[in-house]
Copies of this chain bind each other. A is one copy, B any other.
Amino acid sequence: MASIGDVAKLAGVSRSTVSLVCNNKGYVSDETRKKIEKAMKELNYIPSELGRNLKMQKSGIVGIIVPDIAHPFFSTFIKYAEKELYSRGYKALICGTAGREDVEEAYLQMLDRRTMDGVIMGAHSLKKERYLKIDRPIVTIDCYLADYIPTVHVDKRQVAEKAASLFLEKNRKKVVQLVSSHTIKNYENEKEQLFHELLEKQGCEVVDISIGYNTFTAEGYKDAAERIFEECSDMDGIFGVDMAAIACLREAKLRKLKVPEELSIVSIDGTYITKLGPEILTSIVQPIEKMAKKLVSMIILQIEGKQVEEIKAIFDVEIQDGETC
């Protein structure tokens, strides 16, 4: 493989001049530029990123760590993040942690090893102190770690209010809220508590049922749905993440419960699986693309050594009119 030196030799110039041509920098006379370009073509020269990376002390790679790459929320997030990263000259390295304790740690180390210039954290299964030790670019999805670590999330109050309004409109009296148990506090409680308050104030009972935090597979959600209907058969509303909501929709049908007549189901996230059918789910939709873009711009600011003034970016949610509430 031809290196910059080979090109320089063939063109009869120095390596630095070749470098200038490659990167469109500085002043190079038309004549020498021509010579160099000819030599590059002749040798089929392609600059190696490896040399460049070492010199520049950066790889141009941003890691995206999520619990489950195949989960509709995260896969959609990754899709938009990659797109945005690419358009800004970066590449996306991914990692799915679920079911692999040690892996998150291993990927975080790649940050120190300079394999990655920064990390977008969508998973956080390690102890909080571990994250505080990181002094390299990092941002999180919906997770508070420290005041200096940027994060994005949706407006929790808005989620609770919009969801509550949907159930109240239908005059529901007993709503099951599916909650997940988290390792690290990520405001989640705020939303859940608000949801309680808002409904209870109007005389609607709210029952929390926990689905494991690391339940990200279709099977996991199905098991959870069965449990829900066993634990609480007289509810008339369910509020939970997309996949859980769909699993509940199925469970309701199996039990001959009519949705939405007898049971209202509202999902949070509103990923594409809620839009496919056969029933469109009534959902609180997170603006995944916008959040991905914001997170990318935050991580790039950090990588490029600039100040991130907006540490917490909060997004609005939309109600998706569906057929399940």
Q: Is the CB of A110 within 8 A of B49?
A: yes
Q: Is the CB of A46 within 8 A of B113?
A: yes
Q: Which residue of B lies closest to A109 (CB)?
A: B46
Q: Given the complex, which residues of B lie within 8 Å of A57, measured CB to CB? A: 50
Whether A70 touches B76, Cβ cut-off 8 Å, given contacts A110-B49, A279-B278, is yes
Q: Which of B96, B115, B217 contacts A49 (CB 8 A)?
A: B115
Near B by CB (< 8 A), chain A positions 36-54 give 46-51, 53-54
**Of A174-182, A196-204, A231-239, A269-277, which stretch is located at the interface?**
A269-277
Q: Is the CB of B82 within 8 A of A96?
A: yes
How far is the CB of A247 from the nearest CB of chain B, in Å? 6
**Does chain B have a CB within 8 A of A92?**
yes
**Does chain B have a CB within 8 A of A306?**
no
Q: Is the CB of A78 within 8 A of B82?
A: no
Q: How many copies does the complex hold?
A: 2
Q: Is the CB of A72 within 8 A of B70?
A: yes
Q: Given the complex, which residues of B lie within 8 Å of A93, measured CB to CB? A: 61, 91-94
Q: Which of A221, A273, A277 has the largest number of chain B CB atoms within 10 A?
A: A277
Near B by CB (< 8 A), chain A positions 106-159 give 106, 109-110, 112-115
CA distance A3 to B49 in the complex (A): 21
Near B by CB (< 8 A), chain A positions 265-293 give 272-273, 275-280
CA distance A279 to B252 in the complex (A): 11
CA distance A158 to B163 in the complex (A): 47
Q: Is the CB of A79 within 8 A of B83?
A: no
**Does chain B have a CB within 8 A of A218?**
yes
**Does chain B have a CB within 8 A of A95?**
yes
Near B by CB (< 8 A), chain A positions 47-95 give 47-51, 53-54, 57, 59-61, 68-70, 72, 75-76, 78-79, 82-83, 86, 91-95
| Chain A residues in the interface with B (C-beta under 8 A) | 46-51, 53-54, 57, 59-61, 68-70, 72, 75-76, 78-79, 82-83, 86, 91-96, 100, 103, 106, 109-110, 112-115, 217-219, 221-222, 243, 246-247, 249-251, 253, 272-273, 275-280
Q: Can you add 6 more A-B contacts, CB < 8 Å, to A50-B54, A70-B72, A247-B277? A: A48-B113, A68-B79, A72-B72, A91-B93, A222-B277, A278-B279
